[in-house]
Amino acid sequence: SATTPIRATLFPGDGIGPEIAESVKQVFQAAEVPIEWEEHYVGTTIDPRTQSFLTWESLESVRKNRVGLKGPMATPIGKGHRSLNLTLRKELNLYANVRPCYSLPGYKTRYDNVDLITIRENTEGEYSGLEHQVVRGVVESIKIITRQASLRVAEYAFHYAKAHGRERVSAIHKANIMQKTDGLFLKCCREVANKYPEIVYEEVVIDNCCMMLVKNPALFDVLVMPNLYGDIISDLCAGLIGGLGLTPSCNIGEGGIALAEAVHGSAPDIAGKNLANPTALLLSSVTMLRHLDLHDKADGIQNAILNTIAEGKYRTADLGGSSKTTEFTKAIIDHL
Ligand code: NAI
Ligand code: MG
């Protein structure tokens, strides 16, 4: 048929990024997904318009297409320029990062009933990039919490819960210590919770939340939290189901932008060795397809991934298998 393809931005990213992005491209082609990728690589010099290695053109591409998929981008520690991920999140106002995490049928961990959605505030908190040395030997990092961003992410979490038939939203915090910042975050969550009486609302202190998640993840449903807590909790959740190679995410921005990305980083320890598990990025691409209402394609690809893992014949090393990235990808294509 002569349907016009949808244009989407693709950042293959660093480390294992290009290898797992290649998997996505191949699976999309085999599944005849009507998407035309606009590929953008991270630049090798700082673009003054973004103050980072991210090019202005690549940001424009996401702004125009409204949808995209990004591989991991490495952030060298202490190099004195803006993190690429922070730049993307701030420039595109990607205010909520949605991280679904569910047990994969046939892949055994301590639990078989994990079904969690972490919703991470994505633009402020400790990630505001406001760090400086006060005097020698004393540095300061400023945690920003605003009413606007807190209400926006809380609103997104409750809306998500309602739209997806979820029953409970837990706000994760440390307001006993961070009284002003996390206190404001909670106040905003309560305000929004009042508008959703059909959804159970609770507040859980982050350290206790970690313990409860490890002991019994079924206690939770949708979790909403400030930026840093979301970073930490979502890796913990990934651990419950088998690791970072499995968990997808999608960044939601103002005006309906959706930039999907895996939760994991560039995995320099296995980069370039055809060892990476492409599942996390593939499942992220599935969230992108759902955002575009391409549900039949999304279902087809998601089932092929889950069936390949469940069958167990082809698994990457992180799941105890011996398949290369390319072999595992081919097995998924065979399952389509
Ligand atoms: P990482 O997530 O890259 O790796 C942690 C561990 O998980 C490693 O042992 C790695 O081999 C393994 N792993 C991750 N993804 C995997 C996959 N798909 N298949 C199999 N194994 C996988 O975290 P790390 O090492 O702390 O960070 C490396 C770089 O990535 C840093 O520069 C960091 O700043 C960046 N990073 C970028 C993110 C992003 O772009 N959203 C997120 C997290 C880290
Ligand atoms: Mg992280």
Residue 194 lies in a domain: yes
CA of 210 to the centre of ligand 1 (A): 21
Q: How far apart are CA 265 and CA 263, in angstroms?
A: 7
CA of 244 to the centre of ligand 2 (A): 9
Q: How many domains does the chain have?
A: 2
CATH classification of the domain holding 147: 3.40.718.10
Residue 69 lies in a domain: yes
Domain check: are 116 and 181 in the same one? yes
Token pair belonging to 155: 């609103």
Domain check: are 1 and 89 in the same one? yes
Q: How far apart are CA 126 and CA 122, in angstroms?
A: 10
Boundary of a domain, candidates 178, 206, 241: 241
CA of 226 to the centre of ligand 2 (A): 13
Q: How far apart are CA 114 and CA 108, in angstroms?
A: 11
* Ligand 1 pocket residue status of 270, Cβ below 6 Å: yes
Distances (CA, A) of 107 to 42, 136, 147, 240: 35, 51, 41, 11
pLDDT per residue rounded down to tens, the chain (336 residues): 457 899 999 999 999 999 999 999 999 999 999 999 999 998 888 889 988 889 999 999 999 999 999 999 988 776 667 788 888 998 999 999 999 999 999 999 999 999 999 999 999 999 888 889 999 999 999 999 999 999 999 999 999 999 999 999 999 999 999 999 999 999 999 999 999 999 999 999 999 999 999 999 999 999 999 999 999 999 999 999 999 999 999 999 988 899 999 999 999 999 999 999 999 999 999 999 999 999 999 999 999 999 999 999 999 999 999 999 999 999 999 999
* Pick from 199, 171, 209, 301: nearest CA to 248: 301
* Ligand 1 pocket residue status of 85, Cβ below 6 Å: yes
Expressed as residue numbers, the domain containing 6 is: 1-96+245-336
CA of 287 to the centre of ligand 1 (A): 20
Residue 196 lies in a domain: yes
280 alpha carbon, closest ligand: 1
Q: How far apart are CA 13 and CA 70, in angstroms?
A: 7
In this structure, what are the phi and psi dihedrals at residue 196, rounded to the nearest 5 degrees? -125, 70
Q: How far apart are CA 80 and CA 85, in angstroms?
A: 14
Domain check: are 162 and 267 in the same one? no
Domain check: are 63 and 119 in the same one? no
Residue 14 lies in a domain: yes
Whether the predicted model's global pTM rises above the 0.90 cut:
yes
* Ligand 1 pocket residue status of 234, Cβ below 6 Å: no
Boundary of a domain, candidates 206, 241, 276: 241
Domain check: are 217 and 122 in the same one? yes
Domain check: are 235 and 172 in the same one? yes
